[in-house]
């Protein structure tokens, strides 16, 4: 369980002014994590967080831009996403150093950064704090719901192949008790074996998929390299960012790491992990597009033969992988609600365990109910994801970076300031274009 430092004075009241600055203070040495995760365990969790259903859409993304623009685009977005999370983590470190605390949550660090940033932003500090909290929670619950639907849909196809026809809602109800039990696990260290199992299933699924992708000779012509349409660029960006970004889980992993200093940097854990992820995404996108061309569907598993055992084995492998990642995503939703609303009230009381376990069950039940009511949440979650990720993983980190280094620490030529302004503009473009394209998909889905 998380046990973050509270931003409070010795009397328990929130601090109004930062203490006297101490350059020797290292927040990493003042964290209190009961069960910290090792470098290997953190890397395992990170890979599992990013190897999900979004990865299976890479061939479809490449079909929209072609090979050259697709490869350049995914590398650019990978570097871009990595940089945004890096400046967020480093910004939080500077804020903790300023206030002399071991750790501070994303919403609180956002508020304090804006309060000490450019005067034109200071009035909105509380708005930014509440926005981060609400968007992160909304995103994590939505991800859990779509994961549950993804698992149920794949199980339905596998069961149908085996001669048993079951409805999505029946399968969702069967999955619910198992998820409740798994989501009662209290810390990420105990979830590491589950992530290892999920990564193993992902590897098996990828091997089976690549078996189909490379079994026949592929003919490459000029059409594979041409940019299809400018209107497909926002869709490509949305697909790749959805697959790459897992900001809530990433921040939770950085907090729980045994040596957080190893997380950031050019050769830090996060950069190495993202390099592995981008490499695998690129290979899957290129091979899938060369195999199926413009017929590449939203998930590469939909292109696989429906009458062969190997294709259903691949579906089952990814089903187990996504199912195993549900507790990790759900853990972040629990963390937001527990730390911000319940911990202060129930910590150290007789009702602490009841409140803790009750909240964990509630965080599992809400996405279960969402999936049960509407077991076709794809377009809706796509709309939520386009908005949420553009905000918490692109726009807000740039605002934190601008505020942390204000007024005169932007580096030579104020390169940090201009970089952050570019990130904000690009984030607004991603948000608007992603929401627009998701709305078009929703209209198309509903019309059918």
pLDDT in tens, 321-377: 888 878 877 887 888 888 778 888 888 788 888 898 999 999 999 999 888 876 665
Contact 178, 367 (CB under 8 A): no
Q: Which two tokens stand for residue 165?
A: 């026809």
For Cα atoms 125, 126, 131, give the angle at the middle one, nearest 5 degrees.
100
The answer on pLDDT for 263 being more than 70 is yes
Who wins on pLDDT, 439 or 282?
282
Q: Which two tokens stand for residue 140?
A: 């994590």
- At 397 the pLDDT is 93
pLDDT band at 107 (very low <50, low <70, confident <90, very high): confident
Contact 301, 314 (CB under 8 A): yes
pLDDT band at 243 (very low <50, low <70, confident <90, very high): confident
- At 400 the pLDDT is 94
Q: What is the average pLDDT value for the chain, to the nearest integer?
A: 82
- At 382 the pLDDT is 63
For Cα atoms 309, 311, 313, give the angle at the middle one, nearest 5 degrees.
70
Who wins on pLDDT, 74 or 47?
74
| Cα gap 196→44, rounded to integer Å | 6
The residue written with tokens 């809602």 in the block is 169
Question: What proportion of the chain, given as a percentage, has pLDDT over 70?
Answer: 89
The answer on pLDDT for 206 being more than 70 is yes
| Helix, strand and coil in the chain, % to nearest 5 | 75, 0, 25
- Which of 282, 270, 216, 361 shows the shortest CA–CA distance to 58? 282
Contact 171, 154 (CB under 8 A): no
Tell me the mean pLDDT in the region 168-177: 90
- At 272 the pLDDT is 93
- At 83 the pLDDT is 93
SS3 state of residue 14: strand
Q: Select from 1.20.1740.10, 1.25.40.10, 1.10.40.30, 3.40.50.720 the CATH code of 39-447.
A: 1.20.1740.10
Who wins on pLDDT, 235 or 270?
270
Greatest C-alpha distance within the chain:
72
| Cα gap 66→55, rounded to integer Å | 17
Q: For residue range 404-423, what is the model confidence (pLDDT) as tens digits?
A: 998 888 888 889 999 999 99
Burial of 409 (0-12, 13-18, 19+ CB in 10 A): exposed
| Cα gap 90→80, rounded to integer Å | 15
Burial of 355 (0-12, 13-18, 19+ CB in 10 A): middle
């Amino acid at each position: 369980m998380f046990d973050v430092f509270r931003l409070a004075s010795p009397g328990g009241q929130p601090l109004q002014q930062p203490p006297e600055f101490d350059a020797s203070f290292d927040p990493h040495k003042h964290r209190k994590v009961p069960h910290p995760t090792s470098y290997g365990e953190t890397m395992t969790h990170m890979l599992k967080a990013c190897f999900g259903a979004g990865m299976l859409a890479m061939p479809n993304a490449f079909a929209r831009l072609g090979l050259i623009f697709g490869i350049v685009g995914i590398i650019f977005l990978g570097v871009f996403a990595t940089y945004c999370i890096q400046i967020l983590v480093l910004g939080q470190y500077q804020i903790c150093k300023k206030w002399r605390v071991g750790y501070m949550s994303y919403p609180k660090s956002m508020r304090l950064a804006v309060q000490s940033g450019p005067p034109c932003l200071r009035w909105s500090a509380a708005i930014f704090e509440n926005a981060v909290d609400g968007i992160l929670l909304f995103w994590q619950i939505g991800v859990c719901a779509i994961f549950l639907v993804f698992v149920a849909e794949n199980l339905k196809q596998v069961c149908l192949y085996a001669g048993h026809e079951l409805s999505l809602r029946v399968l969702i109800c069967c999955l619910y008790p198992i998820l409740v039990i798994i989501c009662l696990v209290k810390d990420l260290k105990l979830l590491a074996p589950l992530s290892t199992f999920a990564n193993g299933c992902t590897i098996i699924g990828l091997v089976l998929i690549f078996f189909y992708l490379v079994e026949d000779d592929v003919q490459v012509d000029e059409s594979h390299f041409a940019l299809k349409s400018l209107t497909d660029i926002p869709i490509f960006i949305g697909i790749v960012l959805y697959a790459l970004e897992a900001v809530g889980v990433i921040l939770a992993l950085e907090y729980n790491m045994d040596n957080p200093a190893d997380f950031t940097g050019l050769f830090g854990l996060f950069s190495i992990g993202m390099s592995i992820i981008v490499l695998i995404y690129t290979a899957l996108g290129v091979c899938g597009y060369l195999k199926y061309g413009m017929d590449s569907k939203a998930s590469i598993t939909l292109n696989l033969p429906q009458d062969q055992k190997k294709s259903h084995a691949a579906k089952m492998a990814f089903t187990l992988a996504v199912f195993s990642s549900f507790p990790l995503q759900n853990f972040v939703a629990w963390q937001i609600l527990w730390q911000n609303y319940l911990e202060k009230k129930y910590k150290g009381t007789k009702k602490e365990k009841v409140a803790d376990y009750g909240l964990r069950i509630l965080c599992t039940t809400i996405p279960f109910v969402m999936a049960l009511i509407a077991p076709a949440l794809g377009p809706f979650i796509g709309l939520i994801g386009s908005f949420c990720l553009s905000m918490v993983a692109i726009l807000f980190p740039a605002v934190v970076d601008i505020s942390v280094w204000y007024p005169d620490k932007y580096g030579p030529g104020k390169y940090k300031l201009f970089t952050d302004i570019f990130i904000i503009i690009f984030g607004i473009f991603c948000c608007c274009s992603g929401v627009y394209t998701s709305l078009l998909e929703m209209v198309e889905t509903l019309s059918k």
